């Protein structure tokens, strides 16, 4: 919170709060158009099979069935690489084989059963390390290793680093297959009218989808409108165009009828994207005084059959490379294709996987050195002057040191933490912590960055942003920025978001960067509009433009307290219209790094294995808080998701068949409100040089720090190291029953 | 058609043609929202009455009735002057007394019958000349003469003019009450959601309505969205906000349910606006050689109970003042309030009334002078150098002389016209002509003028205009202008129109001026976008910006024939976005006058009185043809309406009760396709100095010239002068049977 601002940094109610709490918000799933067809997919029961033939005659003859589409209907369609619109080889259980469009869902489902498919089952592999062995079944002709060879990141000399070390520690860590588990599954509603396609879509990237559809259907971008009024959760799954969009659009085009395709929950578990599992083999070298001398990491990611994340493993490696100062590092990123479901970015992409591994690894090393884990981090973490050690690019700000201090103070780490157990009785308590740093929030120079602002004749404001409202408050953030720049009241601002016909592209709402891209776009647009207002005011009020200010919807000259209503100025616009335009090329070679320190206090009931997170202090360097309420919400939500990553969530596959055995929230163990960790969000404002008003990203990083902080706290409580996630109570109990740890005795 | 243009001036299919011919176009009337309430009005059966009391208890108790609103519910509402949202004095038959909102139309109509109103009938007047007499019932406290005194326009010395004259001729002309008779009646659909009102409205002025609603309901303009996808006819009636909009919006706000109010056909005849009847007393002086020396006109208009047209009579006077060169003129405009239905602008406002009077008057004078009517006009019509003789403002262009030549050539006037009758037998033929000039198409400096253009990454274009698509092709005009400026194909352009959230204000689509306001806005926006494209092209193609041109979606350097796809340039935009913005203050003190000459050939069956328009050559100086097909359509439609004004249409009132006796198309005598005159449109391109590409307005003027040209042709055929409209076959027959004219004999 800052006295120089009137709106920024204060707790601001969501602009769409009323709509959401009253259930009036219209999600894509809520759309139903007259004459609309419903689409259902026939999905492969095999993880790997060639489609020998499809006989859809009986399905087509079923009354109420309008169309059945198969691979040949999409043969000439260019869809998002590497995923074709439809393939004649099924590469995972749930891969689309045919689409039925019928008058209702029931008929479509009935028709699916009438389609006769001859499959030729092929050998399959669902373990990434197995997939890379020479005799593994080839899922694509070019082999199962993405890029054909590992990606190597290297700086300094790893040999020299190990040579300098007094201690070298090596361990293996692994994380599971996860589903984004959005409240709203993937869904598209397509309407084709007089050569113009309107597509309602639950998406994080309306403009990317617009371009993809235009290209796939070979029509002008001007004739495709994508609307995303609200997204019922994205978390990265909806950051790239889903297959349901091309299916619905194709059916709408062929039939002239609106077409809806909404995945069932189990279909979403099968065919939407997933967090890729990562296996990290880490080997770090340190001196006795705690100085890191070598970081060696081999990261293997399972990309599933198709991955939107590309070199997925690299993402896990990158976050490891940027938190600690270390001259010598060698990282190897290996991404394997398997016959598991598709993967892609999920909140913080590969960083939670990498951060879990590294921060547990660091905790072990600290213990081996006999150092306080906080002191060990303080000794090694990157400072502002270090910058990106691989790319030699300076940080724009770095509040990591303050994050550590704020978090350790909150938990009274200095007084309360001890290496030895401090609790008697069956319920043990422990403290743990972890650092996190990543490039989330950074802009890329290839990205769109824009915004539009209209000042109405009564001085009220319409804001137009291409940013999707993901549920994380983007609409409100854009409103705050415009209101702050223009000096108007929040009640007078209306924000239109994520409609390709109404707004301009400002990049996908991914990478925690919309406050930077969309926010900068709106800021520039508002400044442009403000400049026009000041010109009019200078004329109308016969005053020096430089002496004029606007606040709370009034215009002031010099230090006068007597304001002129903004309406009196706005209504005098030459041409009757004030439109502010903000467009800029994002800066190149600048990374706004997000930093965080998480501090956890847990209790472990040694009779049941139940882990309870008693406190989770999540301190984030977000540059500048735009909306206090929104920033706190992001940290809370992300850290709660990170807790579930640590303690419960996992999508499991049956080894002999490759079939997912828990494609539902209950058995997947999505946390309920009773499982939610009591997160205490804290914000460190490092005032970034690039972001609007100094802001950086804060959407994704809160996910990453939670799991190692909790795992380290569990170790502190019961003396058992967990290197695989999730750490379920069953797992804890099994390890305790196996006699591990210092159960029952005071440590 | 011009070689310098690739799209402008060519026949261009309407962008919405497919939607219209397939019935897919969504008019406001087509909107139906879930849970929508239907509104019906209780209307006064008296032309003038005080509402003593209203008892709505029984109506409110009827199952399915949600609300009944009366005057007190609107007491604090500021609506469009002079019309209050609802009054406690009924001032015309059909005035709204109460509004019922119910679950369906049937219930609402049933509830109307249950409302008990005590009226105190007041003395009323429905004749404008009677209304101005001292003892006439006062409709408003300030009296029945709008402005309290006649408006006088004067130049030179009228006395001197008459003194110089060799011939002075005086006569009285009158025209009837007309209805706009739009295919779609007045209709509003209001939806209030989380403090934002969306109003679908059949309107010519979405932004004016947006402001009016915001002011009336005391909410920010940013929280009101008006959408008008298509208008089922406006002709001026929908140029100002109708009462149904405030009723629907108020009900939606109070109930939280969508609300629709759509007038029945008879209600539209009663409570929508009308063309005001005009009585013209003309006295013109001429020299023997045909030189006009004096024009004296007293014009009395009946404004009805409320008039959007303000000093309505002035409009009829103005058009008289601007067609002929005459040093001495005195005009008196008198606008009387009566207890007739509301009036307002209707196609060409007061000009058809004034032009009918003046051009018949001129025809009589020509005959009295023994001059060819064409030669008489040639002698007196204004030239470019005359300009506006009252305001001393130059014309921007004047193609009147060419209009006369083209029209008279088409009808072979020189060879075929004769003062004496040339036909034998019962069916007589005759030729007639008339001139017209008016300021339709002119911009006013207070008006909004703007447009936005987006160039997509594939080089296709979205155009955004606040102009309503009235059915006259505004959307297509804007598309043509953008495509021409940007050098893209029409198929790659999509135009969004008349949505206050998606577009910017560019004035109401009234006054034939949207090609000038909206067209200039889009032209400037397209130039801005083009400039951005040229900058990118200069960088990408390493060429001098000045040497680069764009056509047919390709970019060319110098005289090279090898074009680079525009996509390759557009996709390189810094910031990923190209938005062109066009905003300007319309020029002050410039009037783009529209000019026309109509030439009619009629046949009159003396046995039945039936008048058939055999040919109607309508020649219009429109500055520049933007869309050949659209301009022809406008001229045809307007001249057909003008023909009906001449021969059939009239709304009639019962003198003792003030009740309209023919509130339906059949008895009002709206022309059918079989009555449509075979109009031959011709365009004269005077290349205006102000309009985009030299264009002026052409929407309304085609209405005006038809009626006097036809009336003069009837006189030429049968020797009977008609000075009152309409000239129905019954009227013709009555005059023939009374022995007037030279029936049966060869003249």
Model pLDDT for residues B413-439, shown as the tens digit of each residue:
999 999 876 678 999 999 999 999 999
Neighbours of A481 (CB within 10 A): 32
User: Residues of B with CB below 8 A from A450's CB?
Assistant: 575-577, 579
Give the pLDDT band of residue A443 (cuts 50, 70, 90).
Answer: confident
The pLDDT, as a whole number, for residue A24 is 87
In this structure, the answer to whether residues B41 and B74 fall within a common structural domain is yes
Structure tokens at A143: 């082999």
Residue A8 within a domain: no
Mutation target among A222, A498, A580, A587 for the B interface, most CBs of B within 10 A: A222
Facing A492 at nearest CB: one of B220, B492, B501: B220
Structure tokens at A397: 């700000």
B193 and B103 within one domain: yes
Range A641-649 average pLDDT: 98
Radius of gyration from C-alpha coordinates of chain A: 27
The nearest CA of chain B is from the CA of A110 a distance in Å of: 30
Q: Please indicate, yes or no, if residue A281 is contained in any of the structural domains.
A: yes
Q: Give yes or no for a contact between B468 and A232, defined as CB atoms under 8 angstroms apart.
A: no
pLDDT at residue B493 greater than cutoff 90: yes
Q: Which residues of A touch B217 (CB under 8 A)?
A: none
Q: Is A413 left (phi over 0), alpha (psi -120 to 50) or beta?
A: alpha
Mean pLDDT of B633-641: 98
pLDDT at B743: 43
Find chain B residues with C-beta within 8 A of A193's C-beta.
19, 24
B673 belongs to a structural domain: yes
3-state secondary structure of B340: coil
Of the candidates B221, B447, B576, which has its C-beta nearest A458's C-beta?
B221
Phi-psi region of B45 (alpha: psi -120 to 50; beta: other; left: phi over 0): alpha
Check whether residue A365 and residue A340 sit in a common domain. Answer: yes
Q: Are residues A195 and A343 in the same domain?
A: no
Q: Shortest CA distance to A505 belongs to which of A733, A716, A253, A211?
A: A211
> What pLDDT digit, counting tens, does each position of B652-703 carry?
999 999 999 999 999 999 999 999 999 999 999 999 988 999 999 999 999 9
Q: What is the mean pLDDT of chain A?
A: 95
Q: Which of A24, A577, A583 sits opposite B579 (nearest CB)?
A: A583
Q: Do A456 and B507 touch (CB under 8 A)?
A: no
Which of B538, B561, B583 marks a domain boundary?
B583
Residues A246 and A377 in one domain: no
In this prediction, residue B1 carries a pLDDT of 41
Q: Is residue B393 part of a domain?
A: yes
Is residue A213 one of the residues assigned to a domain? Answer: yes
| pLDDT, tens only, A501-552 | 999 999 999 999 999 999 999 999 999 999 999 999 999 999 999 999 999 9
Looking at the structure, tell me whether residues B258 and B298 fall in a common domain.
no
- Same-domain pairing of B390 and B510: no
> Are A100 and A35 contained in the same domain?
yes
Domains held by chain B: number? 3
Q: Collect all residues of chain A within an 8 Å Cβ-Cβ radius of residue B506.
A: 576-577
pLDDT band at A588 (very low <50, low <70, confident <90, very high): confident
pLDDT of residue A3: 64
CA distance B301 to B174: 10
Task: Say how many CA atoms lie within 13 Å of B612 toward its Cβ.
Answer: 10
What is the Cα–Cα distance from A444 to A513, expressed in whole angstroms?
Answer: 10
- CA contacts within 13 A on the Cβ side of A324: 28
The SS3 assignment for B32 reads coil
CATH of the domain at A95: 3.90.1170.50
Last residue of a domain, one of B583, B618, B638: B583
On the question of pLDDT at A82 being above 80, the answer is no
Distance of alpha carbon B480 from alpha carbon B495, whole angstroms: 10
In whole angstroms, give the CA distance from residue B734 to residue B720. Answer: 11
| Residue B192 CA from chain centroid, whole number | 31
Q: What is the rounded average pLDDT for all residues in chain B?
A: 95
Strand partners, A123: none
For residue A746, name the pLDDT band (cuts at 50, 70, 90). very low
Residue B362 has pLDDT above 70, yes or no: yes
B493 contact residues in A (CB cutoff 8 A): 222
Q: How far is B123 from chain A (nearest CA, A)?
A: 42
Q: Does B214 contact A585 at a Cβ distance shorter than 8 Å? A: no
**Residue A134 resides in a domain:** no
DSSP H or E stretch at residue A192: strand A187-193
Mutate to test the interface with A, among B13, B14, B220, B533 (most CBs of A within 10 A): B220
| A508-527 as b/e: b if 16+ CB within 10 A | bbbbbbbbbbbbbbbbbbbb
- Same domain, residue pair A569 and A680: no
Closest of B717, B2, B208, B674 to residue B426, by C-alpha:
B717
- Tens of pLDDT, residue by residue over B514-529, are 999 999 999 999 999 9
CATH code, domain carrying A631:
3.30.365.10
Q: How confident is the model at residue A592 (pLDDT cuts 50, 70, 90)?
A: confident
A193: closest CA of chain B, how far (Å): 8
Domain boundary among B215, B235, B262: B262
Closest among A662, B454, B730 to B722, alpha carbons compared: B730
Do residues B199 and B226 lie in contact, with contact meaning Cβ atoms separated by under 8 Å?
A: yes
pLDDT higher than threshold 70 for residue B746: no
A456/B221 CB distance under 8 A: yes
Q: Are strands A548-551 and A554-557 parallel, antiparallel or unpaired?
A: antiparallel
Mean pLDDT of B555-573: 96
Q: What is the pLDDT of residue A742?
A: 64
Q: Which two tokens stand for residue B548?
A: 């680069």
A581 with B584: Cβ contact below 8 A:
no
Considering the domain architecture, whether residues A228 and A96 belong to the same structural domain is answered as yes
Same domain, A220 and A98: yes
pLDDT digits (tens, 9 = 90+) for A706-729: 999 999 999 999 999 999 999 999
d(CA A205, nearest CA chain B) in Å? 14
Report the pLDDT value the prediction gives residue B3, as an integer from 0 to 100: 64
Alpha-carbon distances of B586 from A57, B444, B478, B527, B599, rounded to whole Å: 65, 6, 18, 17, 34
Q: Which domain holds residue A79?
A: 31-122+186-262
Mean per-residue pLDDT for A174-190? 97
- pLDDT over 90 at B443, yes or no: no
Q: Is residue B8 part of a domain?
A: no
Measure the CA–CA gap between A540 and A590, rounded to whole angstroms. Answer: 42
Residue B644 lies in a domain: yes
Residue B747 confidence (pLDDT): 40
For the record, the structure tokens of B389 come out as 């003789």
Kindly report the nearest CA distance between residue B689 and chain A, in angstroms: 19
Residues of chain B with C-beta less than 8 angstroms from the C-beta of A16: 194
What is the pTM assigned to this prediction? 0.96
pLDDT value at position B437? 96
Q: Which residues share a beta bridge with A431? A: A601
Q: How far does B505 lie from chain A, in Å, by closest CA?
A: 7
A223 and A107 inside one domain: yes
Contacts of residue B492 in chain A, CB cutoff 8 Å?
Answer: 220, 222
Average pLDDT over residues B212-219: 96
């Amino acid at each position: 919170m800052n006295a120089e601002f009137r709106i920024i940094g204060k707790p601001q109610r969501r602009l769409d709060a009323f709509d959401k709490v009253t259930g009036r918000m219209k999600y894509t799933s809520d759309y139903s158009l007259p004459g609309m067809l419903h689409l259902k997919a026939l999905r492969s029961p095999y993880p790997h099979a060639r489609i020998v033939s499809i006989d859809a005659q009986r399905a087509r003859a079923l009354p109420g069935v309008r169309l059945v589409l198969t691979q040949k209907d999409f043969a000439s369609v260019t869809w998002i690489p590497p995923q074709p619109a439809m393939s004649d080889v099924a590469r995972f259980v749930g891969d689309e084989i045919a689409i039925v469009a019928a008058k209702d869902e029931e008929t479509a489902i009935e028709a699916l059963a009438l389609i006769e498919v001859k499959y030729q089952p092929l050998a399959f592999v669902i373990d990434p390390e197995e997939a890379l062995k020479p005799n593994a079944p080839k899922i694509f002709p070019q082999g199962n290793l993405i890029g054909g060879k590992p990606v190597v990141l290297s700086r300094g000399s790893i040999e020299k680093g190990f040579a300098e070390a007094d201690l070298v520690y090596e361990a293996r860590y692994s994380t599971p297959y996860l589903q984004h588990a959005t409240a709203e599954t993937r869904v598209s509603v397509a309407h084709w009218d007089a050569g113009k396609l309107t597509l309602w879509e639950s998406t994080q990237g309306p403009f990317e989808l617009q371009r993809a559809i235009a290209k796939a259907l070979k029509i002008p971008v001007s004739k495709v409108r994508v609307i995303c009024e609200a997204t019922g959760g994205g978390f990265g799954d909806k950051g790239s165009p889903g297959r349901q969009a091309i299916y619905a659009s194709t059916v709408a085009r062929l039939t002239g009828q609106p077409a809806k395709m909404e995945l069932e929950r189990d279909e979403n578990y099968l065919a939407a994207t997933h967090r890729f599992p990562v296996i990290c083999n880490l080997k770090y070298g340190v001196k006795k005084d705690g100085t890191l001398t070598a970081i060696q990491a081999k990261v293997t990611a399972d990309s599933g059959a198709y991955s939107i994340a590309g070199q997925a493993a690299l993402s896990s490696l990158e976050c490891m490379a940027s938190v600690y100062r270390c001259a010598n590092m060698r990282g190897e990123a290996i991404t394997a294709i398997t016959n598991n479901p598709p993967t892609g970015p999920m909140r913080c992409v590969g960083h939670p996987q990498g951060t879990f591994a590294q921060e547990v690894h660091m905790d072990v090393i600290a213990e081996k050195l006999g150092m306080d884990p906080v002191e060990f981090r303080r000794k090694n973490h990157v400072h502002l002057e270090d910058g990106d050690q691989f790319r030699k690019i300076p940080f724009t700000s770095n509040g990591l040191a303050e994050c550590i201090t704020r978090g350790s103070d909150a938990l009274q780490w200095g007084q309360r933490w001890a290496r030895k157990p401090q609790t008697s009785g069956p319920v043990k308590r422990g403290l743990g912590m972890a650092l996190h740093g990543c490039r989330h929030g950074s802009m890329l120079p290839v990205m769109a960055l824009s915004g539009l602002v209209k000042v109405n004749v009564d001085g009220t404001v319409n804001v137009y942003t291409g940013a999707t409202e993901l549920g994380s408050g983007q609409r409100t953030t854009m409103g705050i920025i415009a209101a702050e720049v223009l000096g108007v009241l929040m009640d007078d601002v209306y924000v239109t978001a994520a409609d390709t016909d109404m707004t301009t592209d400002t990049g996908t709402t991914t990478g925690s960067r919309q406050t930077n891209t969309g926010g900068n776009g709106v800021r520039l647009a508002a400044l442009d509009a403000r400049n026009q207002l000041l010109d009019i005011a200078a004329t109308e009020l016969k005053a020096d433009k430089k002496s004029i200010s606007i606040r709370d919807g009034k215009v002031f000259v010099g230090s006068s307290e007597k304001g002129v209503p903004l309406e009196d100025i706005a209504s005098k616009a030459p041409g009757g219209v004030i439109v502010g335009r903000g467009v800029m090329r994002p800066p190149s070679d600048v990374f706004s790094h997000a930093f965080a320190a998480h501090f956890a206090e847990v209790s472990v009931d040694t009779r049941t294995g139940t882990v309870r997170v008693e406190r989770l202090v999540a301190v984030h360097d977000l540059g500048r808080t735009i909306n206090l309420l929104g920033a706190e919400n992001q940290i809370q939500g992300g850290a709660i998701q990170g807790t579930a990553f640590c303690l419960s969530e996992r999508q499991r596959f049956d080894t002999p068949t490759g079939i997912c055995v828990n494609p539902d929230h209950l058995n997947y163990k999505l946390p309920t409100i009773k499982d939610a960790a009591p997160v205490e969000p804290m914000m460190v404002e490092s005032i970034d040089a690039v972001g609007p008003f100094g802001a950086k990203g804060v959407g994704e990083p809160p996910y990453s720090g939670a799991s190692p902080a909790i795992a380290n706290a569990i170790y502190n409580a019961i003396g058992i190291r967990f290197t695989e996630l999730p750490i379920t109570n069953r797992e804890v109990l099994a390890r305790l029953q196996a006699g591990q740890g210092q159960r029952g005795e005071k440590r």
